[in-house]
Amino acid sequence: MKLVTPRTYPLLVIFCLLSIVFCLYKSGGLPFINKPLIVRHMGEVIRQPIAAGTFYPNDPTALYHDIKRYLGAEPSLGYTNVRAVLVPHAGYVYSGAVAASAFREVSPDFTRVFILASHHNGDVTLSGVSLTEVSHYAIPGAKIPLDGVVDELKKNPLFVHEPLAHTMQMIEVELPFLHALKGLSEKPEFTIIPMIVGALSKTQTEELAQILNKYNDAKTLFVFSVDLSHYFNAKEALTLDARTIDALMGRDTTALDSATTDGNQVLQVLTLLAQINEWEPALTKHGHSGEINTTMERVVGYAGMVFHKPFALKPEEQKSVLDFVRKTIEGSLTIGKTAPDASEMTQLVPVLGSDRASFVTLKKNNALRGCMGNLMPQTSLIDSLQANALKAAFEDPRFTPVTAEEMPNTHISISILDYPQKIVVDDPLKYPDTIKPNIDGVIIQYKNNHSTYLPSVWEEIPDPVMFLSSLCRKQDAPMTCWQDREAQLYRYRAFVFEE
């Protein structure tokens, strides 16, 4: 038997260490190493831009000036863990602001993007999903490489190659936004898998969603490029688009069967993928072309939406936050006690540093003892919780301030709110059928006043009509104020936990 001599130990140790590092690298176990992009193994075959100079500027400087302007026009709504977006694909002058409303919620840490659009070229029919044979998509100032996943997918009979399917703009117009999010690097730091979706059976639609989910990971983004209703007058378009948006908000594939869009099958895939992963939908903006060209008799509808992992805290994090809120109140009541350190709390639960709205509710003997909060993100979540805890205890005008003697018998619950979304209906009488009992918190804004009920109020008022009527009375408005077209209704979801 050959013995390992001391002289060979260093080489053996180095070999073993390198082997471990290589295995960890391949498995994703070394997050600090940037893995190289997996591009197609083929010669460079470039798809040249066909929409530059018409749908968006051909000059890179002008193009990215516009992109920056669109993305910076409004602040982010603060959604985290955005996994998929729905965006339009019209000329930027018409739909650029709507597309930007969704893209600005996307974290730039993605490295791979699946982009799906429906087949638009009337010169050829398409069944299945067409993949292109190129190696790069060119846009002004960059060449975006295709991912090696394309070659894997080609082995599945669901995927075909129809060259004429790739001669339209639906994929291309989304690329400058993605390139801008990644910092406009000379060598783009992400790959794409462009898919043009033709006619699909229900089984094929479900199969495509499952295939996409196979590649779903923290570095992959899904972009669904769809315009809504086409060439109806503005009033009809609002009715049709409201139905589509409501179906998407409810992740209702059955309702999407009868939607009026240029990509129902693409929306079906999006909705199935959201169902599989329990992603929450959020509307970021909607509109139509008539808002730009003022031609109201023949408009195209647009919507921006994001699909994100719902906000959540682990049980131990919930307990820590509840302790923080209790100690915040007790620190203001008891001599010698100090309020807890917000910065330490943020180190313990980092998501508390993000901007979010919250409510703090106090109950004593199952009766309300104080409830204060904010509907819109104004500060970091930790600051919001600290401020609302003190307001609920000492500033709720409906109650006297909480005393130190009451605190042992006071029960604390916390609601962390998503960003409110305007409810889109063509007829106010449809509001009761649109809101989701036990899920939606609702805001009614009417004649310079507003009132809200948290989702927990559904336990006391389970009927949607009575829920809305009571909400009107809460702001001293007529019980039917929600039926007035002047009223604007918003809904939000809340992550609720309690002692």
Superfamily classification of domain 421-498:
Hypothetical protein ph0010; domain 2 (3.30.1490.150)
Domain with CATH 3.30.1490.150 in the chain: 421-498
| pTM for this model (two decimals) | 0.74
Which residues, 6+ apart, have CB-to-CB distance to 114 below 8 Å? 192, 193, 195, 212, 215, 220, 221, 222, 223
pLDDT bracket for residue 421 (50, 70, 90): confident
pLDDT band per the 50, 70, 90 thresholds, residue 250: confident
Residues of the chain within CATH 3.30.700.20 domain(s) are 315-417
pLDDT tens sequence across 163-203: 999 999 999 999 999 999 999 998 999 999 999 999 999 99
**Residues 315-324: contacts with CB within 8 Å, 24+ apart?**
317/348, 317/349, 318/497, 320/345, 320/348, 320/349, 321/345, 321/349, 321/352, 321/385, 321/414, 321/497, 322/412, 322/414, 322/497, 322/498, 322/499, 324/382, 324/385, 324/386
Region of residue 294 (phi > 0: left; psi between -120 and 50: alpha; otherwise: beta) = left
CATH 3.40.830.10 segments of the chain? 46-308
HSE, CB side, 13 Å, CA atoms: give it for residue 426.
Answer: 13
CATH code reported for the domain at 315-417: 3.30.700.20
Q: What is the 3-state secondary structure (H, E, C) of the chain?
A: CCCCCHHHHHHHHHHHHHHHHHHHHHHCCCCCCCCCCCECCCCCCEECCCCECCCECCCHHHHHHHHHHHHHCCCCCCCCCEEEEEECCCCHHHHHHHHHHHHCCCCCCCCEEEEEEECCCCCCCCECEECCCCCEEEECCEEEEEECHHHHHCCCCCEECCHHHHCCCCCHHHHHHHHHHCCCCCCCCCEEEEEEECECCHHHHHHHHHHHHHCCCCCEEEEEECCCCEEECHHHHHHHHHHHHHHHHCCCHHHHCCCCCCCHHHHHHHHHHHHHHCCEEEEEEEEECHHHHCCCCCEEEEEEEEEECCCCCCHHHHHHHHHHHHHHHHHHHCCCCCCCCHHHHHHHCHHHHCECEEEEEEEECCEEEEEEECCCCCCEHHHHHHHHHHHHHHCCCCCCCCCCCCHHHEEEEEEEECCCEECCCCCHHHHHHHCCCCCCEEEEEECCEEEEECHHHHHCCCCHHHHHHHHHHHCCCCCCHHHCCCCEEEEECEEEEEC
Mean pLDDT of the region 297-310: 95
Q: Are 398 and 328 in contact (CB under 8 A)?
A: no
**CATH number of this structure's domain 46-308:** 3.40.830.10
Q: Would the pLDDT of 42 be above 80?
A: no
Instruction: Evaluate if residue 452 carries a pLDDT over 70.
Output: yes
- pLDDT tens for each residue of 195-228: 999 999 999 999 999 999 999 999 999 999 999 9
Mean of the pLDDT values across residues 461-481?
A: 97
Kindly report which listed range (57-66, 116-125, 343-352) carries the lowest average pLDDT score.
343-352
Query: Residue range 151-172: average pLDDT?
Result: 97
